[in-house]
Amino acid sequence: MSDNPYYSPEFHGDYQVTSIGGLELEAGGVIPDCRLAYATWGELNAAKDNAILITTYYSGTHQVWRDVYIGEGHALDPSKYFIVAVDQIGSGLSVSPHNADGANADIAASSFPQVRIGDDVVAQERLLREHLGVESLALVTGASMGAQQTYEWAVRFPDKVKRAAPIAGTARVTPHCEIFTNQVIDSMTSDPNFHAGEYKSHTELTEAVKRQALVWAVMGFSTDFFKHEVWRAVGMENKEQFLAFLQGYFTPMDANNLLCQAHKWQGGDVARHTGGDLAAALGRITAKTYVLPIDEDMFFPVRDCAAEQALIPGSELRVVADIIGHFAVLGLNPTYMQQIDQHLGELLALDA
């Protein structure tokens, strides 16, 4: 276990950590003590039919959801719903390479086993059912890698998911995303201080994580974001200052944690449930589903999301307009949340 103050309530706000016990993994191996970090808002009603699950994206936690998406006036309103945001395995708050200790000491750092999106969802289902009394979900939503988990939920547990809203993500990883993620992985593992994942402190990988941030800058923001200097709207004076800000976002993070998440992203594919048949897998979904791509997203372009949406019975494609691109999910643009609230509000209003 390595000490990293970034992964604490000081940076991410209040959350709880609960052990769901041992978790056998799809790719083999076990997490002996699978500890999940999560935050809740609102209360579960007597009928237990108002629970909403939020799943998290690469490098992110429940923090942005709390600060941007949840609250009075939003579709995700705690006065109406019991909202649970679960931080994915490898997030740094839930069990991760950097914080594996006690019963998990043998899987710390480079020994952390390969985790897949399905493992997250199985763990989340156990947490909700065994510890929070939630048997069914009024809505599952998440962005990017959270969208992968949303699709996994809807395919794996169709009877438990009434509505689904994958934002800026796909049910099957694309070759384009796989190539990109290889560059993210290489930016860290090729650093001479990586030492096959057995570095002593995350600070040894500061330059590696900064390089990763620049890789993200290429794809996470649209070409128009830079061409029209949209970074000025977030208080930056020039492009270089913005890139330094982006590097600062990633710098406190642990490389092994990010690698755990990157490998999960690459393995995301609901079609593994149906022998590789994506149409058959998405055809299992019974949830009322709105697929929400972002029009300027270079990771998950509308055409890729639309092709999958067409395979989901009774679903709708709702395109979100935002010049920022994929990182619009951070809620930097006020018009983004207006659109998300409209779409989620209309989805929650549907009978399911």
Instruction: Dig out the tokens for 8 from the structure.
Output: 């604490």
Alpha-carbon distance of 267 to 174, in angstroms, equals: 10
Point out the catalytic residue in the list 62, 98, 202, 326: 326
Alpha-carbon distance of 254 to 203, in angstroms, equals: 8
Alpha-carbon distance of 40 to 61, in angstroms, equals: 13
Point out the catalytic residue in the list 297, 304, 315, 322: 297
Half-sphere exposure of 122 (CA within 13 A, CB side): 13
Position of tokens 């994580």?
209
Q: How many CB atoms lie within 10 A of CB 197?
A: 17
- Residue 280 near residue 158, CB atoms below 8 Å: no
326 is catalytic: yes
3 is catalytic: no
Point out the catalytic residue in the list 144, 187, 222, 315: 144
74 is catalytic: no
Alpha-carbon distance of 170 to 167, in angstroms, equals: 9
- List 316's β-bridge partners, or say none: 290
Q: How far apart are the first and last CA of the chain?
A: 45
**What amino acid positions are annotated as catalytic residues?**
144, 297, 326
